[in-house]
Chains A and B, each alone.
Chain A
Amino acid sequence: MSATVLHTEVGVSDEKQTAAKSAGRRFGALVVRLGAIAAFAAIMAYFVIFAPGFTSTFNLINVVEQSAILGVLAYGMTAVIIGGGSDVTEGGIDLSIAANMGLCAAVYATLLSMGYGDFLSVLAAIAVGMAVGALNALAVVGLGILPLLATLAVLNVAAGMELTLTQNTVVGASSPLLGVLVSGSFLGVSALAWALIVFSAIMIVLVHGTSFGLRLYAVGGHPEAARAAGISVPFYVSFTYVLSGLCAAVAAILTVSRLSASTPGSGELLLSVLAAALLGTVFSRRFVPTMGGTLLSVLFIGLLANGFQLLNVSSYWVNGVQGALILLVVAITSFARGSEGSR
């Protein structure tokens, strides 16, 4: 509710708009949103009819499980984009998030294999993740380095430290916590799926249900106005980077549980994380990043890969179709924006 109010406030442009114009704008935006959702629905309908076993509970839970890692990372990225604004080169972005996850996973698996317990290992992984986030925050907020650039440098540091720690090898790991995450279930839903559900609920409430989230949008949308209103812009922006680090650590624990090990190459997730966070803007009324939108696009990407698998389509197509869909959705969106005559 409160988030909606903010969108209207932030969205009021300088020139007065006639009722008819704003009604037209609302209508255009509605058409696009419905169009995007209809496209998603059409693809899903195709899978439901033609992909064997697509709708089985087992399969759907499997998709949610597979989406958990991407989802948690995409939440971190979404928070950073909300707090930093969505400008291409100067806006908020965290390129280090996937490498950070790799580093946290390496720390977690290494400590476990050295015989430290779950408690200490989890704590260390979270501390490392948040420390990397804090380093990003220091660079972006404290030193004023462009986020794109600062997080690029931190990406190299985190990826290099992961390689140094693991010597580019697979570090196997097992622990009671991992056992619960792998095989535990509650109400017929597995632990990994629960992790995504609970994490999603926390993020959605934090960003869309509290005054904190409201201020975060203000900071990203209109930093000057937010400053004038007495909001501490540096604090909020720093917070998003540390939160992004925390998300990386949580995703790291999930990925170690899924693979029973920390494996090299987690940096490849970065582009999918970016795609999920950016694609999610289509689901919001004003095309801003939202946690709910990110969740939908993460699930959509997961369902897409899964449906292809069930249809026996080569996995080589998945990236391409994902890319084409991003372009399609964004083209329709920008077309609708352009026809609003807001320029």
Chain B
Amino acid sequence: MSVSANDNSAKVSVRGFLAKYSVLIAFAVIVILFAVASPTFLTPANLFNVLVNNVVMLAIVALGLTIVISSGGIDLSVGVSVDMASMIFVMLLAAGYGGVVGVAGGLGAALIVGILNAILITRLNISPFLATLGVLFIGQSTQQLATSGGQPIYLTSGYAADQFNAIARTALFGIPTPVLVLIVLVIAVHVLLHRSVFGRYVQAMGAQPGVAWYSGIRVPRELSMVHVLCALLAGVTGILLSSTVKSYVPLSGNAFLLDAIGATFIGTTLSRERKPSVIGTLLGVLLLAIVKNGLLLVGWNFYWQQVGIGVLVFLVLAASFGLRRAAH
């Protein structure tokens, strides 16, 4: 009797282990597969390229979404924050202002999006899903109206392109500036979400909104903070984006939305309670970035890459959720 019971629990814990680490295992397997299939995959130059071009911007947006999803909400308007920051940043530079004013203006634009979300959600009691969906629509219109239907704004060398280059194309201690920005933000958000009182409040609101309210947490204030932070982080991505491509392309921020949501939720498979975490989100972003890059190196065309990513994410989720269900 007792032997079989032990046997069972051992089996269960193996399954639990597999469920918990399925993302990590998938990650390792994928890296090995690509390393075997493509000689360039594991070279420092390629990994560096993946980090700068595929990881940094998505990761920063995903950090913001991690905070929002931890609080039990969602932000569908992160693309708008990216775009508005990018738009104001580029417009200010094009008008001859310096880099500092540009960055401040860009972040200010994202801040306004965040405050708008916060007011709609905490003052008008609109569900985060609908509030941010509405802001998404309004943001799209605003951009179309501001750019006569979606004309990109290019920064040619005639403008203040020197300060412009200063952000995306410089390095400190040999580390490119965007990567440095990411490192700082990862540490900051990790501390904020997992080591601070604010983080406790956010987690409490996500787990038990009613209880959080009754235990004296100022839910509206903390929730406003959550949405403002998310918009600001997306704004940082907007500035990095336009300083990388030297232009503002209207409605381009939305491309981050689904990937960032995907990365955050892939990250939740690391925790038993399916809570989002900064580490998990980073892992999700890395997984998506590595797969995109690997499929490209193996020679799959762009169209098949999308199928490949979909199938892969599906399999990882199936493994994690399915194994955990079996373990219970």
Listed in ascending order, the chain A residues whose CB lies under 8 Å from chain B are 88-89, 95, 139, 142-146, 148-150, 152-161, 163-164, 167-168, 271, 274-275, 278, 314, 316-324, 326-327, 330-331, 334-335, 337-338
Contact = CB atoms under 8 A, between A and B. Distances in A.
22 contacts: A89-B72, A95-B258, A143-B317, A146-B265, A149-B265, A152-B262, A159-B310, A160-B306, A161-B307, A271-B136, A274-B133, A275-B133, A314-B145, A316-B144, A319-B138, A319-B140, A320-B142, A324-B137, A327-B130, A331-B120, A334-B127, A335-B124
Contact of B307 (A160, A317, A335, A337): A160
A158 B325 CA distance: 26
Interface of B: 69, 72-74, 120, 124-131, 133-138, 140-142, 144-145, 149, 258, 261-262, 265, 302-311, 313-314, 317-318, 321-322, 324-325
Nearest to A166: B303
B310 A153 contact: yes
A143 B134 contact: no
A323 B313 contact: no
Nearest to B74: A88
Contacts of A161: 307
A335 B306 CA distance: 42
Contacts of B73: 88
Nearest to B302: A163
A338 B126 CA distance: 11
Contacts of A337: 125
Contact of B313 (A88, A156, A330): A156
B120 A322 contact: no
Nearest to A142: B322
Contacts of B303: 160, 163-164, 167-168
B145 A317 contact: yes
Contacts of A335: 124-125
A163 B306 contact: yes
A320 B144 CA distance: 10
A159 B134 CA distance: 25
B321 A323 contact: no
A323 B306 contact: no
Contacts of B261: 148-149, 152
Given A144-B322, A157-B310, A161-B307, A278 B133 contact: yes
Contact of B310 (A89, A144, A154): A154
Contacts of B72: 88-89
Closest 9 CB pairs of A and B: A320-B141, A323-B137, A156-B310, A160-B306, A160-B307, A157-B310, A163-B303, A316-B144, A327-B134
Given A168-B303, A327-B131, A331-B124, 7 more contacts: A145-B317, A146-B265, A150-B317, A154-B310, A156-B309, A160-B304, A320-B145
Nearest to A163: B303
A201 B258 CA distance: 34
A327 B140 CA distance: 15
A245 B311 CA distance: 18
Contacts of B130: 278, 326-327, 330
B126 A157 contact: no
A223 to B, nearest CB: 16
Nearest to A275: B133
Given A319-B141, A323-B138, A145 B304 contact: no
Nearest to B73: A88
A156 to B, nearest CB: 3
A324 B138 contact: yes
B262 A153 contact: yes
B320 to A, nearest CB: 8
Contacts of B69: 89
Contact of A324 (B134, B302, B317, B324): B134
Given A154-B314, A168-B303, A274-B133, A143 B309 contact: no
Given A160-B310, A164-B303, A334-B126, A148 B265 contact: yes
Given A146-B265, A160-B304, A316-B149, A139 B317 contact: yes
A145 B127 contact: no
Contacts of A274: 133
Contact of B133 (A143, A321, A326): A326
Contacts of B149: 316
Contact of A89 (B74, B302, B311): B74
Contact of A164 (B126, B137, B307): B307
Given A156-B310, A316-B141, A326-B137, A139 B318 contact: yes
Nearest to B124: A331
Contact of A323 (B134, B304, B305, B325): B134
A88 to B, nearest CB: 5
Contact of A143 (B126, B140, B313, B322): B322
